[in-house]
Structure 1
Amino acid sequence: MATDEQTLRELIRHALFEDPDKCACVSVRLLESLAKSLRHLIGAQGTELLLLRAARRVVITYPWFQFGPQIALLDSEFAAMRDCLERQSPEQAGQASALLFDTLIGVLESLIGVHLTTVIFSSAISGARAPERSKEQHDE
């Protein structure tokens, strides 16, 4: 039986790799949705610090995943992160994004527990998929 943690990571990987050409877009939508949820719990500054900590972990494995010291990860619509991911192959962008979300999951689980982390990420995944669903319904 899969644990909540394994299922959560599988859901994120599925979302990231379902259409490799859209990985950067999916990553940013998921991160925007996650940040929105986290801001309610830990505030804007806490959310930014958490995301920057996770991004620094990603840089160890993917040195190209860097933002200048004057560029905040939480810029409008995560433009710096989107640009960074779009400059890489879909596979590299997906792997870096997966590591970013794995790191965020690990940190949040240690701070607030597995259950609440799963609830927050499940909500973020649903929120990130909402634009896709509304577009599909509009196209029909």
Structure 2
Amino acid sequence: NKSTIHVGFGDLPNATLKYLTDKKHLGMYSHYITDNIIPLIENGILTGRKKNFHPEKIITSFALGTRKLYDFVNNNPYIEFYPSDYVCNPRNIGMNKKMISINSARQIDLTGQVNAATEGYQFYSGL
């Protein structure tokens, strides 16, 4: 509740949005958005009312989804698009209180370091 969320690439992080139906006053500051944000907005879950940085706005760099999503974001004053270097800037990310990032991981070591992009020399994520 009252957190600002970022959703990483992939089916698993995106699927978690379907399970946020018991939350309240979530905000979103994420490099991309998908169709799964639509029901959260329509049901008053993703409101951004408690955000301190860009309150009551979804901040993103791009949308990836169906025609329904593109029609939904077209001229929607609640959704603002910015260049990736703005949205992914650590300083801007840090401006969000209660920022939660939902990502998948390929490997986690015993110290808690996470690898989300490669396995050996094979690149899996980010492109």
**TM-score normalised by length of structure 2:** 0.29
Instruction: Determine which structure has the larger helix proportion and give its number.
Output: 1
**TM-score normalised by length of structure 1:** 0.27
Instruction: Determine which structure has the larger strand proportion and give its number.
Output: 2
Greater relative contact order, per chain length (Cα 8 Å cut-off, separation 6+): 1
